[in-house]
Amino acid sequence: MSNLFELWDKVAIVTGGASGLGRAMALGLAEAGASVIIADKNLPGAEETCHQIVKKMPPAIAVKVDVTRETDVRRMVKRALDWVPFHKDTGQVDILVNNAGIGGPGGPPEKMPLAHWEKMIAADLTGVFLCCREVGKDMMRRRYGKIINVSSIFGLLGSDIVDAVNYSAAKGGVIAFTRDLAVKWARYGIRVNGIAPGYFRTPLSEWTVTHLKRRLLKMIPLRKIGLPEDLKGTAVFLAAPASDYMTGQTLVVDGGFTLT
């Protein structure tokens, strides 16, 4: 049974891996045996994630990337394919976790500047597309791949808590993109799934979960705010053989928030 969750000899890219959910998922994949490329605009943070991994786990490297820039994404993929952490002739990318994104700027839709809308869509949706497109070329050639797109519960429902319709639109787009890409790339042996986290304590959400904690806990059946470590198991499951007969799905991890 344990073989279903092992990632030995696999290579993963985790975007937005410098902190928060991305760091936790990267650590989880490494603990399962994967060698990990930590890709982030925050290079010192990405290097710190690598340091935490290589102290006691498989190899890891840090790469600076802005996922909204085609040239950056192509450079990231080239660096990944040039990296050969195992005794093989060529590099490979078996797993892609699209976690990079931003949480703001938001605001009321009737007052939102177009620049705020475009910035969010670029970071939280276009970046996912660019990374999938570039990594997918090698996965299609090898006829294998696991892609995990990180969305949000706000891609599934409306909210009067967070005033960021641009964020909801981007995350809803990630869910639709995940479904459609899963159909198109299934013939190449590529599984495309997603994760929709609820309220987690991360650097991006610190103000919200701190100032609205009492209200949020009343709305979460499990009566707790998620910690980044709570996503480790979900990420490993979607990256590992355990989820081989699953594609196009988005797993909600929210303590039951969307049930109420």
Residues 139-187: tens digit of each pLDDT: 999 999 999 999 999 999 998 888 899 999 999 999 999 999 999 999 9
Query: How many Å apart are CA 227 and CA 131, to the nearest integer?
Result: 26
Identify the bridge partners of residue 148 per DSSP, sorted by sequence position.
97, 193
Render the burial of 23-54: b for 16+ CB within 10 Å, e for the rest.
bbbbbbbbebbbbbbbbbbbeebbbbbbebbe
Domains of the chain, CATH where assigned = 2-252 (3.40.50.720)
Residues 6 or more apart in contact with residue 108 via CB below 8 angstroms: 163
Whole-number pLDDT of residue 89:
74
Pairing of strands 11-15, 35-40: parallel
The two structure tokens encoding residue 128: 């996912």
The SS3 call for residue 216 is helix
Is residue 250 within 8 Å of 197, Cβ to Cβ? no
Is residue 201 within 8 Å of 194, Cβ to Cβ? no
Query: How many Å apart are CA 60 and CA 219, to the nearest integer?
Result: 39
Whole-number pLDDT of residue 62:
98
pLDDT digits (tens, 9 = 90+) for 48-75: 999 999 988 889 999 999 999 999 999 9
- Residues with catalytic function: 167
Whole-number pLDDT of residue 67:
98
Name the band, by pLDDT with cuts 50, 70 and 90, for residue 88.
confident
